[in-house]
Amino acid sequence: MSTKDFVEKDYYKVLGVPKDATEAEIKKAYRKLAREYHPDANKGDAKAEDRFKEISEANDILGDPKRRKEYDEARSLFGNGGFRPGPGGPGGTGSFNFDLGDLFGGAQGGGGAGAGGAGGFGGGLGDVFGGLFGRGGATRAQPRRGQDIESEVTLSFTEAVEGATVPLRMSSQAPCKACSGTGDRDGTPRVCPTCVGTGQVSRGGGGGFSLTDPCVECRGRGLIAQNPCETCKGSGRARSARTMQVRIPAGVSDNQRIRLRGKGAPGETGGPAGDLYVVVHVDAHPVFGRKGDNLTVTVPVTLPEAALGGEIKVPTLGGPPVTLKLPPGTPNGRTMRARGKGAVRKDGTHGDLLVTVEVTVPQELSDTARDALESYREATVGEDPRAELFKAAKGA
């Protein structure tokens, strides 16, 4: 912003107050407008952010008696269209008490009074322009993305397989409710004099390059509280707890990390919200297990069923049982597959249910069962299931 543009800018009009407004009236008008146009209340609205910056600039000048006096004198000197010479003639000084050379040097990078200049003024209007706008004019503080949040949730085995919506309570930094995110008890923060509202400061780097860092004075906000809010200590941010309903997709695995974009902490100065990362823990199931998209289950079968074969019913997760055909001579530990009875995949299809056979040996026998087994043993005399084992052991 040039010196001419700055002086011609009517800050009284910006705040909607008359030129003879009292300090209380100026403060009241600024507080009302600042709350209305604050970036945290108008996320993503660049026009509102520009308007807030303009309001802050106006308050920074009119809210300070010394700067207001210098501003009024500057407008009296320049008028509404350009320089108006004082009694001293075209290059005269008139009776103003600020240094016009400093004014141009600070705001435009010029070299003091020249033709039509006013080297005889005393005071510090140049400091107003130089401190508030710098040489190249201030830019608004850059939008800052909110922090990412990580939380944990524990699901039952069935919820993990089928998906579930669960309440999740989290805590994060958010705009302070007590001061509407301004950091100021009265909602009237001032532009930071260190970074002149940009939220950033430059420092020299190697090879002629300039490096930019967040302003330490205002912590990158571009504003400083005149009367720090007791809740947030002037930061404009406070710890806030909230509960939200989170949809966990079907087929999630134990310790899987799910990312929910834009569900993290709110951003600053119109910046986007961070992300929410949910780490899922899954409780064990008393019957079913899981291998990727497949579910697993161990099914006991009797000796006759394993030897003679037949049909067995197998439970499924959340559905009716399925019937599997058991081939004659099924060994212990054999795994069969029930297709489409597993966990839900990302594409909506299902994995399989892997059924492992466990042949049970009876601990107690009835007389009839004992006689039947004795008959079986007599019928298989001469068969030695360990013969091949000893043969292989000798040959090794």
Closest CA to 257 of 342, 153, 346: 153
**394: annotated binding-site residue?**
no
218 is in an annotated binding site: yes
293 known member of a binding site: no
Query: Is residue 113 a known part of a binding site?
Result: no
Cα separation of 132 and 139, whole Å? 11
How far apart are the C-alpha atoms of 175 and 223, rounded to whole Å? 14
**Is 300 within any annotated ligand binding site?**
no
Contact call for residues 259 and 244 (beta carbons, < 8 A)? no
Confirm or deny that 37 is annotated as ligand binding.
no
Q: How far apart are CA 29 and CA 13, in angstroms?
A: 11
Phi, psi of 91 (to 5 degrees): -110, 15
Give 3-state DSSP helix, strand, coil % of the chain, rounded to 5: 30, 25, 45
DSSP string, 335-388: EEEETT-SPBPTTS-B--EEEEEEE---SS--HHHHHHHHHHHHHTTT--TTHH
- Torsion sign over Cα 188, 194, 197, 198: negative
- Single-letter amino acid code for the residue at 218: C
Instruction: Locate all alpha helices (DSSP H) within the chain, ordered by sequence.
Output: 3-8, 11-15, 23-37, 46-62, 65-78, 100-108, 125-133, 157-162, 303-308, 367-379, 387-395
Binding-site residue numbers are 176, 179, 192, 195, 215, 218, 229, 232
Binding-site residue numbers for Zn(2+) are 176, 179, 192, 195, 215, 218, 229, 232
